[in-house]
Amino acid sequence: MKVLLDLQHLNVATTGIKTYMVELAKAARKYPHPEVEWIFTHEPEVQAADKTYQGAKSKIQRLNYHLDYFRWKEFQLPDLVKKYKPDVLICPDFVSPAASLPCRRLTVIHDAFFWQMPENYPRWWRTYFLNLIRKGLKEDTQIITTTNYSKNSLLEYLGNDWPISVIYQAPKGLKAASDPQFLVKKHLPKKGYFVHIGTFDKRKNLPLLVNSFAQYLKQQPTIQKLVLAGGPGQSKQMNDFPVVEKLIESLGLQEQIILPGYLSDGEVKALYEGAFAYVFPSQNEGFGIPILESMGFGVPVIHSDQLALLEVAGGAGLPFQTGNGEDLTEKLILLDRDGNLRSQQISHGKERAKDFSAEKFIEAFHRIILNPTL
């Protein structure tokens, strides 16, 4: 069985989709199947390092990227299908070619955000992108998604015209050496800070976390820091970074709340190793990779009771009511005061993290590749 994996989108992917694509490619090579031959459209590391369109800011730069993406999906990728004659084409970035193809398609649609939160996207871009997604859902197509929550959401918006299967992904393999000097430079004592890693998209609810942390400091001033690592939201409509900056300034918490920006793998690793707890206040997620990364490092997790996060945490996290700042503050205080609870969270989290591995990730793909009726 010959499988063609489309990795073009790695030239701009920065968050969860990038992790998904890179870890899928790594797992395909690390855990080969005797009946499956994998062909990559690009070398993952080389494509991820391509800076041509990364950080495009001007309208011309963004237009050039969209034209390049369209050419790839509608002309170059179909040409590669003709060249390699795969039995299966996997597109892990929502979009499959609109052209008719002589092979099965596995299209990964990670979440239903484009349908659920239209206000977070430019209207023209959302209309265009949803059109691309729908035109690629044709012929022998099977949708792959990340959680049962995402599956149910997609069924609501797409119906059941195409089979939808859930494959749990693997967290990012942080193989780089830890950079403990990062903690020293940022004046972060070990086990002396809460952490969140990710973009400042509005759905992440980071202003809620800042306000809850401020209330926590008034009632339980033992953990003195909060680290919000990551870059701005992915569009003007989605970006809460300026809101968070102004809020921190208005609260006078510039010394207590650290905004280090994007970090290297070594810095991320050090951040996890030294954290007291991870806090995930998001109002909507398709999966929630940081939950598993944190649990794998023995870091307890406080997360909103959003359905995907509850599903991924599997009872090993400490949930609070989504959008309820008072409840979040109470959970921050509870975890700080109750050492036994924190120890239990660490133990349960380590066990839960074992359920999500690169080997299980690729085995699930192999089952669907070899058994079209699954």
Res 347: pLDDT: 97
pLDDT digits (tens, 9 = 90+) for 69-100: 999 999 999 999 999 999 999 999 999 999 99
pLDDT digits (tens, 9 = 90+) for 330-344: 999 999 999 999 999
Contact 215, 325 (CB under 8 A): yes
- CATH classification at residue 304: 3.40.50.2000
Q: Is residue 267 a part of any domain in this protein? A: yes
Q: What pTM was estimated for this model as a whole?
A: 0.93
Res 373: pLDDT: 72
- Asked if the model's pLDDT at residue 219 lies above 90, the reply is yes
pLDDT digits (tens, 9 = 90+) for 239-257: 899 999 999 999 999 999 9
- Asked if the model's pLDDT at residue 56 lies above 70, the reply is no
Both 57 and 206 in one domain: the answer is: no
Both 13 and 42 in one domain: the answer is: yes
CA angle, 88 then 94 then 97, to 5°: 55
Inter-CA distances, 34 with 169, 367, 370, Å: 22, 13, 11
Q: Which residues pair with 90 in a beta bridge?
A: 5, 106
Q: Is residue 343 a part of any domain in this protein? A: yes
Q: Which helix (H) or strand (E) holds 167?
A: none
Both 250 and 326 in one domain: the answer is: yes
Both 232 and 343 in one domain: the answer is: yes
* Helix (H/G/I), strand (E/B), else coil: 129: helix
Q: What string of DSSP letters covers 255-303?
A: TTEEEEES--HHHHHHHHHH-SEEEE--S--S--HHHHHHHHTT--EEE
Res 241: pLDDT: 94
Both 147 and 211 in one domain: the answer is: no
Q: Is residue 175 a part of any domain in this protein? A: no
How many separate domains does the chain show? 2
- Asked if the model's pLDDT at residue 234 lies above 80, the reply is no
- Asked if the model's pLDDT at residue 172 lies above 70, the reply is yes
Both 133 and 248 in one domain: the answer is: no
Both 140 and 198 in one domain: the answer is: no
Res 236: pLDDT: 73
- Locate 163 and state its tokens: 């089979």
Dihedrals φ, ψ of 7, to 5°?
-115, 15
Both 161 and 184 in one domain: the answer is: no
Q: Which residues pair with 193 in a beta bridge?
A: 225
Both 223 and 315 in one domain: the answer is: yes
Q: What is the average pLDDT score of the chain?
A: 94
- Locate 56 and state its tokens: 């495009």
* Helix (H/G/I), strand (E/B), else coil: 137: coil
In this prediction, residue 364 has a pLDDT band, given cuts at 50, 70 and 90, of very high
Across 190-211, average pLDDT: 95
Which structural domain range is residue 212 located in?
Answer: 180-353
Q: Is residue 94 a part of any domain in this protein? A: yes
Q: Is residue 216 a part of any domain in this protein? A: yes
Res 57: pLDDT: 66
Q: Is residue 56 a part of any domain in this protein? A: yes
